[in-house]
Amino acid sequence: DKLTGRILTHARSPLDRAAALETRIRFQISTFRLSDAVNTAAEALASIDVVLKDMTHPSTLRTVASVLTSCWRLSRQGEFSLPPMTDEKHLAAMKLLMLMAHAAYISNDQRITRIVLEMADLSLRHGMAPESSFAFPALGSVLINNLGPIDFGYRLGQIALENLTDE
């Protein structure tokens, strides 16, 4: 942790800061400090301008509607082709969100739904990253658990499989 602190004092850019915090998050997860890991991930995401608002925030509700509509349209096309994600900031955000989801899931943190939603939204707006293959089935699982549409959840899993075959 001290070494990460030193690296952070010399970070030249928000992406350098996010990379250093990613190391801290991995350490926190490995020592089962899961709440700290989720909080550190939120800090790292904020440093690259990704802020997770509460599920009841109006912008989050718009994101839910946008993601569900986009996923539904994609699932109806039969072919799930989205371009690859290329922007370094968005790729870093996806890595951080994946680590955050890992810690949140293990610790039964209720923010897991919001984290998965953000991953899917970034993927739909900026292209597919390797972590997108986790985001879509996880989103499908949340939908099946809360709303019950098994067919739609299955189609979200198909989007993830298509992403895996492209790499």
Alpha carbon distance 167, 153 (integer Å): 23
- Using CA atoms, how far apart are residues 92 and 143, in angstroms rounded to an integer? 26
Note the pLDDT tens digit of each residue in 59-78: 888 998 898 888 778 777 76
The helix/strand/coil state of 128 is: strand
Tens digits of per-residue pLDDT, 84-139? 999 999 999 999 999 999 999 999 998 999 999 999 999 999 999 999 989 988 88
